[in-house]
Amino acid sequence: MKKILFSLFILTSYFGFSQLTMAKLDGTPINNNDIFTYNSLVGAGSYMGLKMFNTSDSNIKVKGKIVSMTNATGGNLQFCIGPVCVNNITVGNSYPNSGFTIEANGENGNFDHFDNHYAGDGVNPVEYTLKFYMINASNVEVGNSITFTYRYNPTLSTSDFESLANTGVVLQSNLLQDQMHLVVSKNIQMDLFDLNGRIVVAKKLNTGEHHLFVSDLPTGIYIANFTNEEGKKATAKLIKK
């Protein structure tokens, strides 16, 4: 009888602590230690919607913690969780301060998200490791937690050029001097960002050949985001000599 009661206690404790599950807004599961890679700094290409689910019969309170950052300053982003939206984050901080409630067998809304607009050095990935966990009435962590990494990878590879072509963009070179030469087969919106995430050029390009003058841009690395009229997106890293 004691063994049965002990087993029931262990089973009850297991389910009592396994209350939090997560997924991206599109339904992709978020598991512990997952890495999600993005290659854009704007729009759907950088936006990670966060769904949180309470699988227990009691209300829970949830917080999101910044575990670490790599090649990042904590700025030029947006982190929204519960009632809080912040544009700057600090390693070790948790948001919101007192957590937010997800009702029994319920879920959060569709607004919670992480959205990076910081390009880093334009070569090495920018990474944020985030932890989502539950707290009790004393603001002490309880139950299970989920930790994952949001990674922005700016590196332009052969597959990136293929992605550009699939979007309707043929880029002659990602090395720029006075002009940026490209041919587009579909109407395209181009947004050019510097490494601080600021838009320095925004152009609507109609089908055809284009020579964009960039001689007034400082030497450095830039990120170009292209979106065609069908909603397809592609990103290119450009180096201005």
Per the CB < 8 A criterion, the answer to whether 173 and 165 are in contact is no
The tally of CA atoms less than 13 A away on the side-chain side of residue 75 is 5
- pLDDT for 40 equals 79
Measuring CA to CA, which residue among 140, 123, 111 is closest to residue 70?
123
Q: Write down the pLDDT at residue 5.
A: 43
- Given this model, what pLDDT does residue 8 score? 40
Q: Is the separation of the CB atoms in 34 and 148 below 8 Å?
A: yes
Q: What local confidence, expressed as pLDDT, does residue 236 receive? A: 82
Residue 13 pLDDT: 45
Weakly modelled stretches of the chain, pLDDT under 70: 1-18, 155-160
> Which of helix, strand or coil describes residue 186?
coil
pLDDT at res. 14: 40
Q: Residue 65: its pLDDT value, please?
A: 98
Map residue 102 onto helix, strand or coil: strand
Q: What is the pLDDT of residue 157?
A: 55
Give the Cα separation of 213 and 152 in Å (integer).
28
Q: How far is CA 39 from the centre of its chain?
A: 9
Residue 160 has a pLDDT of 66
Instruction: Identify the pLDDT of residue 59.
Output: 96
Q: What is the pLDDT of residue 239?
A: 83
pTM for the model: 0.65
Which pLDDT score, from 0 to 100, does residue 75 have?
Answer: 94
